[in-house]
Structure 1
């Protein structure tokens, strides 16, 4: 979570002023981080969770993601309640869980305070869609 907090502070969020950081622990003990990257054309940005998980998939394609830590804050207001991944990020995480046939523990928090834990993306995305339905 400390690495997620550190990378959150480097997020590029000039429009929303909402900074998110994510850190992934891989099966080879490498930690991959990501933060949200915004764009004036709003849909063109990318969330921290997807930045991190896609980077892990690109650089370490054979490694499993063991856990994900997420933290979020606003530059305008303190965020004291845990902030879970958005729907698009949940779907991306689901893809990697299915690919590796192993759950990813997900820990999430606000700027500080309580940390919630999901044992698998299925805790946050029940009845998920995956490639087996295509």
Structure 2
């Protein structure tokens, strides 16, 4: 595992401890690295009206967007497991989150590294965003 992958997985695991997941009981953490090395971490945030729930990746990307740094995203680490359980099974971003990550990738004109891990252990799967979301639709398709 690369140094960036280790940093992001550990930051994501720490973020997952703050997950608000009383309905799914599945805590997810995400840690996003920016071009300058800054790491922005977040956890999932659920709501009794399930459709209003936010994935950890979405929360992190919204924070980055609000800071005006969407084009600086280079990599993300994602971890998760059932609350109170330990798992070394890597989790991957859902389709919605892949599309949100694509927005940053197209704005920054780079493919993103995605490091997927469980709540513990050394098992990490590494993907590029283009592997997880081939033929993505984004700002470039709108001529932006």
TM, length-normalised to structure 2: 0.85
Q: What SS does structure 1 have at the residue aligned with 2:99?
A: helix
CA distance in 2: counterparts of 1:63 and 1:121, whole angstroms: 15
Distance apart, 1:59 and its partner CA = 1.1
Moved more, 1-10 or 35-44: 1-10
Q: Partner residue of 2:126?
A: 117
Report Cα offsets for 1:27-49 as digits up to 9, x if no partner: 12211011100000001010000
Q: Contact 1:28–1:63 (CA<8 Å) still a contact in 2?
A: no
CA drift of 1:63 comes to 5.2
- Could you state the TM-score of these two structures normalised by the residue count of structure 1? 0.91
RMSD value over aligned CA atoms? 1.5
Correspondence 1:30-41 to 2 at 5 A? 30-41=38-49
Contact 1:73 1:111 survives alignment (8 Å): yes
Cα distance in 2 for partners of 1:87, 1:110 equals 18
Counterpart of 1:83 in structure 2 is 91
Q: In the aligned structure 2, how far is the partner of 1:62 from the partner of 1:24?
A: 11
The one of 57, 60, 65 aligned to 2:65: 57
Cα contact 1:21–1:33 (8 A) shared by 2:
yes
The count of corresponding residues between Structure 1 and Structure 2 is 133
Q: CA–CA distance in 2 between the matches of 1:128 and 1:61?
A: 21
Contact in 2 for aligned 1:20/1:35 (Cα 8 Å): yes
